[in-house]
Amino acid sequence: MPELIAKSALEGRSLTLGGVTLAEVDVGPITSIALLPGGAKAVAKGLKPLGLSMPEPNSFAEKKGARIVWTGRDQAFLTGADCPDMEGAAVTDQSDGWAVLALSGAAAVDVLARWVPVDVRLAAFPVGRALRTQLNHMNVILLRSGDYAFEIMVFRSMARTAWHELEAATHMVAARAGVKI
């Protein structure tokens, strides 16, 4: 059996400009948990050892490095921990299908606002919220991980495009900040 080496989509690259840092992050395993009809109780039991439960719409929760993210009706992603065996849900490994980008800094919100059609200011999008929305034309899961920090989950096949868009917006926001009016 050959030893296969897992490689991330963007080789863990990072960039800091104008007080904004963009970096690819490794969130560990990603497992989709999609409830089957009547499966809620069994899934609650299955998640219990992790101290987590199925999240409310538009939210995520964390416990000891494991994170559960709402991704749709009766559906969530478990990241950062192996998924316990459970009944009541369709459980699929999604780890190699996604890339995760972390965007942080005081102006991170301005960078996102250039691509995302929802209000991402702190008052409208507080820490602990997770949305399914778009980054330009790409479907993403967007998490508010801190007052000045976001995580963006994007299909791995679009990782380079997502990076390109965010890098361009970071440059534009930094350039605008440098203009004296």
Partner 1 sequence: MRLTCPLCGERDRREFYYYGAEDYLHRPSEGAPLAEWDSYLHLRDNPAGVTKDLWYHEAGCSQWLLVTRNTVTHEISSVEMVAGRKA
Report the interface residues with partner 1, using CB under 8 A: 57-58, 72-73, 117-118, 131-134, 139
CB of 126 to partner 1, least distance (A): 13
Contact (CB, 8 A) for 71 and 32: yes
Q: Which residue, 57 or 97, has its beta carbon nearer to partner 1?
A: 57
The answer to whether the beta carbons of residues 66 and 20 sit under 8 Å apart is: no
For residue 86, the minimal CB distance to partner 1 (Å) is 22
The residue (of 50 and 130) whose beta carbon lies closer to partner 1 is 130
DSSP 44: H
**What string of DSSP letters covers 95-131?**
GGGEEEEEEESTTHHHHHHTT-SS--STTTS-TTBEE
- In the bound complex, what is the minimum distance in angstroms from residue 133's beta carbon to partner 1? 6
Q: Which is nearer to partner 1, 77 or 105 (CB)?
A: 77
Residue number with CB closer to partner 1 (8 or 53) = 53
Residue number with CB closer to partner 1 (81 or 162): 162
C-alpha distance from residue 59 to each of 32, 33, 68, 70, 151 (Å): 15, 15, 9, 6, 13
Q: How far is the C-alpha of 24 from the C-alpha of 10, rounded, in Å? A: 7
Shortest distance, position 162 Cβ to partner 1, whole Å: 14
Instruction: Please list the alpha-helical segments (H only) found in the chain.
Output: 40-47, 108-113, 159-178
User: Measured from the CB of residue 134, what is the shortest distance to partner 1 in angstroms?
Assistant: 4
Task: Report yes or no: 36 and 88 within 8 Å, Cβ to Cβ.
Answer: yes
